[in-house]
């Protein structure tokens, strides 16, 4: 009996041990599931914040945002928010925290300007976040992300923000189709539930510290697992991790799987085994009793048989001689002794036999049971496996959705789980990547290798608080992708890492975009640095915040730069400059010129205005116009000289028309008076001498008059009006009427147009040309003069053709030069001024004049007049 009971003990132990092993395995699996679930959440959140970062960085560069243009921003934000489902709101704050524009009304418990994201974004000028806070209705938690909006000078004009909430977790929950009892919660650092699925409305806002699970999560301040009672009284395996591992905001996400669910398989198996053990035990005891009974009866029967054998006089027995008469008792006693001895021997032998037999039976049953259990376990494993597959598929789905590659490294076994997306990121199919860290190591870019190992080493050893690694991994096509790897490790109590899980984000596109941006910025910088002007900005205190441009070298102070110095300090002695800046700071845009260090500048100021109408600074462009000013001064000097010279010429012209004529008149008149009064006393020679004297005076007068006319063409104010060339022509003919009649000339005109010009001067041109035609006529032929005009695209071409003596083409240029004559005075009268005057008049009208002729075959004088003369 004792032996039977003793035999059961190890068996029971085996059962319990077996159950415990299953339990642990289930716990580890549930823990793994919960951790993955929590990581999915935190990954999703990180990704949301990251894309908010990108969105805000983008929006902060939009011009209307930079300008804090409230009217343009409102619709823009609404449109962007419509396209970005992940955000609850999008808006813009000015530097004081006033809402400039937002996609939706801003209703917040805490004023935005008091939130951390605002002050950080404004002070540090970069992306910043505030942790989740409950909205006034207490039903939802929201989180703010902000980024600085910078003005051209780099100062912060405002903060653009997005509001994130945790509504996506509900989507995630329904997408993952979580089993009943499984929870996902987000807690803030104080244990307030910010989100919980399922039943968010019931739980959000309550403190998780009410439950042991919540206390455990808060206590561990990070990640880990706990098997504790949740707020609803249900015991769960909780796995938790920071919601966003990159900052120390202290929100946690926790996934809980009910123990019931986690251990149900293990517990069922244990229960079954115990029942089996009990049944087996009872059977064993029953068998023992039965066997004992049989043993006694057998002993009796054996004794009887032995006795009978002995009584039958079995020769083999020693009892034969004992059967004699008087010694029965002795014999009996001896027999008893013998029988007892036989019985003991027999019992011992039988017991051993029995034990052996029992053990065989027991072993058989054991084997059968083990076999059955094995079968059951196999079936159970199959079920669990199926469940696991389903849950893994869900996880894969979720991982695919996150677009991040996931890896999960078990440091104990050395096995690594790489998600399909992880592999796809490197161009690999599922089966092309194994399950060890070699897969990662062999793909490392040689230049990143050392740094990557060091980072990993430092994190695993605890030297580094967070694992974040920007590195290149080789794609299947041979190129390298920029990957941002982030991970957290699960450690034992001693801090030894057991497991490390993380994500991969492909930053290659972003890197390329950043590079493109850098290149474009450097191009812009090249432009800004080389623009032939000075670009500057001044803040509201009159301090210069930027000076750029090729001309800016002129402004550099002794120490090299003027940035950071105030205008008053640098240029207080420059008349009007400080006042100009002050004027621009009142909001006025204007241009002014200024002299600075012997250079002249044309400076355009324009204020930078915040939407509230306050001026936050001034930007401006200064052009160095020193050369222009000097040129203008030179031009003015020349113009002044010209005016003076013209005035002198006028004076000369007057003198010529009056004072020079008087002496000539005296010479001519008195010589003639002499001839008149003393004719009787004079001989022919004297009269001839008088004739030469008078003629000389007359010619002198003609020269003076011609010169006067010639000079007046250039000095007379130019009066352009609509001139009918036909009328002008007729006026010229009328002036020459006597000469025309005397020579019997025929003068005609055809198709003369209306042009813009000075009628008196144009009359002069015709008069001189016709006059020349009459003067240089053939001796025996009556002169014919014809004027006609034809139009080209831009000019009227007017020709005056005669049938006179013509001229040698060699002289066709020379005839237009002043005082150049082709004929002696004896051949033809003339001052050599007529054509020079014509040339000057035509050129003054924007045309040119030339002659085509052959000696003896007449001449054609042509001149052009612009159809649309310049003003």
Partner 1 sequence: MKIPKADVLLVEDSAAEARLALEALQETRFPVQLHVASDGVQAMDFLRRQAPYQDAPRPQLVLLDLNLPRKDGREVLHDIKADEDLRRIPVVVLTTSKAQSDISRAYELHANCYIQKPLELDGFIEIVKSIHRYWLQMAELPA
Given the complex with partner 1, which of 659 and 684 has the nearer CB atom?
659
Tokens found for residue 288: 């023992």
Is 658 or 779 the residue whose CB approaches partner 1 more closely? 658
**Phi, psi for residue 598 in degrees, rounded to 5:** 65, 5
Q: Smaller CB distance to partner 1: residue 190 or 657?
A: 657
Q: Scan for tokens 């489902």, then name that residue.
A: 85
Within a 10 A sphere around the Cβ of 775, how many other Cβ atoms?
17
User: What is the nearest approach in angstroms of partner 1 to the Cβ of residue 666?
Assistant: 5
Please state the separation of Cα 426 from the chain's center in Å: 25
**Please, which residue, 527 or 654, has the CB nearer to partner 1?**
654
Polymer length in residues for the chain: 871
CA distances from 309 to 305, 319, 327 (A): 6, 9, 19
Closest distance to partner 1 from the beta carbon of 727 (Å): 21
Judged by beta carbon, residue 676 or residue 793, the one nearer partner 1 is 676
DSSP 109: S
Q: How far is the CB of 659 from partner 1 (least distance, A)?
A: 7
The smaller minimum CB distance to partner 1, of residues 328 and 654, is found at 654
Sites of contact with partner 1 (CB under 8 A): 653-654, 657-659, 661-662, 664-666, 668-670, 672-673, 676, 694, 697-698, 701
250 or 696: CB nearest partner 1? 696
User: In whole angstroms, how close is the CB of 658 to partner 1 at the nearest point?
Assistant: 4
Kindly report whether the peptide bond that precedes residue 681 is cis, defined as omega within 30 degrees of 0: no
By beta-carbon proximity to partner 1, the closer residue of 289 and 670 is 670
Nearer to partner 1, 468 or 672 (CB): 672
CA dist list (Å): 231 to 235, 312, 528, 591, 762: 9, 86, 63, 71, 111
Q: Which of 288, 215, 293 is nearest to 254 (CA)?
A: 215
Question: What backbone torsions phi and psi does residue 141 show, to the nearest 5 degrees?
Answer: -105, 140
Least distance to partner 1, CB of residue 689, Å: 16
Q: Please, what is the minimum distance in Å from the beta carbon of residue 652 to partner 1?
A: 12
d(CA 408, CA 489): 9
> What minimum distance in Å lies between the beta carbon of 730 and partner 1?
22
The residue among 716 and 857 lying less far from partner 1, judged by its C-beta, is 716
Cα separations (Å) of 860 from 406, 844, 866?
97, 21, 20
* Cα 752 from Cα 763, distance rounded (Å): 13
State residue 600 phi and psi, 5-degree precision.
-100, 135
Nearest approach, Cβ of residue 738 and partner 1 (Å): 16
CB of 695 to partner 1, least distance (A): 11
Scored b (16 or more CB within 10 A) or e, 29-42 reads bbbbbbbbbbbbbb
Supply the minimum distance, in Å, between the C-beta of residue 829 and partner 1. Answer: 16
Report the nearest approach of partner 1 to the CB of residue 671 (Å): 8
* Helix locations, 616-743, DSSP H: 626-657, 661-677, 684-715, 725-735, 737-743
First to last CA, the chain: 137
Contacts of 841 (CB under 8 A, 6+ apart): 713, 758, 761, 762, 764, 765
Q: What is the maximal distance between C-alpha atoms in the chain?
A: 242
Helix axes 834-844, 684-715, angle to 10 degrees: 10
Question: Between residues 333 and 701, which has the closer beta carbon with respect to partner 1?
Answer: 701
What's the half-sphere exposure (Cβ side, CA atoms, 13 Å) at 249? Answer: 28
Beta carbons within 8 Å of 176's beta carbon, 6+ residues apart: 37, 40, 394, 395, 397, 398
| Smallest separation, CB 647 to partner 1 (Å) | 13
Rounding to the nearest 10 degrees, give the CA dihedral for residues 369, 372, 373, 379: 180
In the complex with partner 1, the residue whose CB is nearer, 531 or 664, is: 664
Q: How far is the CB of 707 from partner 1 (least distance, A)?
A: 13
**How many other C-beta atoms lie within 10 A of the C-beta of residue 28?**
13
Give the residue with the Cβ less far from partner 1, 310 or 697: 697
Give backbone dihedrals phi and psi of 231, rounded to 5 degrees, phi first. Answer: -65, -25
Tokens representing 43 are 């990954």
- Nearest distance in Å: CB 787, partner 1: 27
By beta-carbon proximity to partner 1, the closer residue of 34 and 697 is 697
Buried b (16+ CB within 10 A) or exposed e, 68-86: bbbeebbebbeebbeeeeb
Q: Which is nearer to partner 1, 78 or 664 (CB)?
A: 664
- By beta-carbon proximity to partner 1, the closer residue of 614 and 672 is 672
CB closer to partner 1 out of 362 and 761: 761
Q: Which is nearer to partner 1, 672 or 860 (CB)?
A: 672
C-alpha span between 844 and 839 (Å, rounded): 8
DSSP string, 589-609: -EEEEEEETTEEEEEEEEEEE
**DSSP H or E segment with residue 765:** helix 759-775
Alpha-helical runs (H) found in 312-430:
328-402, 420-425
Q: Which of 75, 156, 85, 92 is nearest to 121 (CA)?
A: 156
Least distance from C-beta 717 to partner 1, angstroms? Answer: 12
DSSP string, 133-169: EE-TTSS-EEEEEEEEEE-TTS-EEEEEEEEEESHHH
Least distance from partner 1 to the Cβ atom of residue 754, Å: 26
For residue 686, the minimal CB distance to partner 1 (Å) is 16
Q: Nearest distance from residue 705's CB to partner 1, in Å?
A: 8
């Amino acid at each position: 009996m004792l032996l039977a009971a003793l035999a059961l003990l190890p068996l029971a132990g085996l059962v319990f041990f077996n159950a415990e092993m299953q339990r642990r395995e289930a716990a580890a699996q549930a823990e793994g599931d919960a951790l993955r679930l929590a990581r999915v959440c935190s990954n999703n959140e990180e990704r949301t914040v990251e894309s908010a970062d990108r969105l805000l960085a983008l929006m902060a560069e939009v011009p209307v945002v930079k300008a804090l243009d409230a009217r343009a921003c409102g619709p823009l934000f609404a449109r962007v928010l419509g396209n970005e489902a992940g955000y609850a709101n999008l808006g813009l704050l000015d530097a004081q925290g006033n809402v400039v524009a937002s996609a939706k009304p801003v209703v917040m418990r805490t004023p935005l300007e008091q939130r951390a994201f605002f002050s950080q974004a404004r002070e540090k000028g970069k992306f910043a976040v505030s942790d989740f806070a409950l909205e006034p209705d207490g039903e939802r938690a929201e989180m703010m992300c902000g980024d600085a909006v910078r003005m051209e000078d780099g100062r912060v004009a405002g903060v653009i923000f997005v509001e994130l909430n945790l509504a996506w977790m509900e989507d995630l929950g329904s997408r993952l189709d979580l089993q009943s009892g499984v929870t996902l919660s987000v807690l803030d650092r104080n244990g307030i539930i910010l989100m919980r699925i399922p039943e968010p409305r019931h739980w959000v806002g309550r403190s998780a510290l009410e439950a042991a699970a919540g206390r455990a999560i808060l206590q561990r301040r990070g990640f880990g697992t706990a098997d504790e009672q949740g707020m609803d009284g249900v015991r769960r395996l909780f796995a938790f991790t920071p919601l966003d591992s990159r900052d120390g905001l202290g929100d946690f996400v926790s996934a809980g799987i009910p123990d019931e669910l986690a251990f149900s398989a293990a517990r069922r198996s244990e229960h079954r085994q115990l029942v089996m053990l009990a049944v087996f035990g009872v059977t064993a005891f029953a068998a023992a009793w039965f066997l004992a009974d049989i043993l006694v009866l057998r002993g009796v029967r054996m004794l009887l048989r032995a006795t009978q054998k002995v009584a039958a006089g079995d020769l083999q027995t020693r009892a034969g001689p004992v059967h004699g008469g008087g010694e029965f008792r002795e014999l009996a006693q001896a027999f008893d002794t013998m029988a007892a001895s036989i019985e003991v021997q027999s019992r011992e032998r039988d017991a051993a036999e029995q034990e052996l037999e029992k053990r065989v039976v027991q072993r058989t049953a054991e084997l059968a049971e083990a076999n059955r259990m094995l079968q059951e376990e196999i079936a159970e494993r199959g079920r669990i496996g199926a469940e696991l597959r389903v849950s893994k598929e869900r996880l894969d789905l979720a991982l695919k959705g996150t677009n991040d590659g996931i890896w999960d490294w078990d440091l104990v076994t050395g096995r690594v789980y790489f998600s399909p997306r992880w592999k796809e990121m490197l161009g690999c199919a599922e089966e092309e990547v194994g399950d060890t860290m070699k897969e990662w190591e062999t793909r490392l870019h040689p230049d990143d290798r050392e740094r990557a190992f060091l980072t990993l080493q430092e994190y695993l050893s605890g030297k580094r608080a967070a694992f974040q690694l920007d590195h290149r991994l080789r794609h299947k096509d041979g190129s390298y992708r920029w990957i941002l790897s982030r991970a957290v490790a699960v450690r034992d109590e001693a801090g030894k890492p057991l497991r490390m899980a993380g994500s991969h984000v492909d930053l290659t596109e972003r890197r390329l975009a950043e590079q493109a941006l850098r290149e474009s910025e450097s191009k812009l910088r090249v432009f800004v640095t080389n623009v032939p002007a000075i670009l500057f900005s001044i803040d509201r205190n009159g301090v210069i915040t930027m000076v750029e441009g090729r001309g800016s070298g002129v402004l550099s102070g002794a120490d090299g730069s003027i940035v950071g110095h105030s205008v008053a300090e640098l240029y207080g002695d420059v008349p009007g400059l400080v006042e100009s800046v002050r004027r621009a700071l009142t909001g006025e845009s204007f241009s002014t010129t200024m002299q600075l260090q012997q250079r002249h500048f044309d400076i355009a100021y324009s204020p930078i205005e915040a939407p509230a109408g306050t001026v936050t600074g001034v930007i401006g462009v200064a052009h160095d116009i020193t050369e222009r000013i000097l040129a203008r001064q030179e031009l003015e000097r020349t113009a002044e000289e010209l005016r003076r010279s013209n005035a002198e010429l006028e004076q000369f012209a007057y003198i010529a028309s009056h004072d020079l004529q008087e002496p000539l008149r005296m010479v001519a008149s008195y010589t003639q008076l002499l001839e008149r009064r003393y004719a009787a006393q004079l001989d022919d020679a004297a009269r001839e001498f008088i004739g030469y004297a008078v003629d000389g005076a007359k010619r002198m007068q003609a020269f003076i008059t011609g010169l006067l006319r010639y000079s007046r063409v250039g000095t007379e104010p130019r009066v352009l009006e609509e001139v009918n060339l036909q009328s002008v022509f007729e006026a010229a003919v009328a002036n020459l009427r006597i000469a025309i009649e005397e020579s019997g000339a025929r003068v005609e005109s055809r198709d003369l147009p209306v042009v813009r010009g000075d009628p008196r001067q144009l009359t002069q041109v015709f008069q001189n040309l016709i006059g020349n035609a009459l003067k240089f006529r053939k001796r025996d032929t009556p002169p014919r003069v014809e004027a006609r005009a034809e139009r080209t695209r831009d000019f009227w071409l007017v020709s005056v053709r005669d049938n006179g003596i013509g001229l040698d083409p060699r002289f066709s240029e020379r005839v237009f030069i002043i005082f150049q004559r082709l004929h002696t005075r004896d051949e033809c009268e003339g001052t050599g001024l007529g054509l020079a005057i014509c040339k000057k008049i035509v050129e003054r009208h924007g045309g040119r004049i030339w002659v085509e002729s052959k000696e003896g075959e007449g001449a054609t004088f042509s001149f052009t007049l612009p159809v649309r003369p310049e003003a």
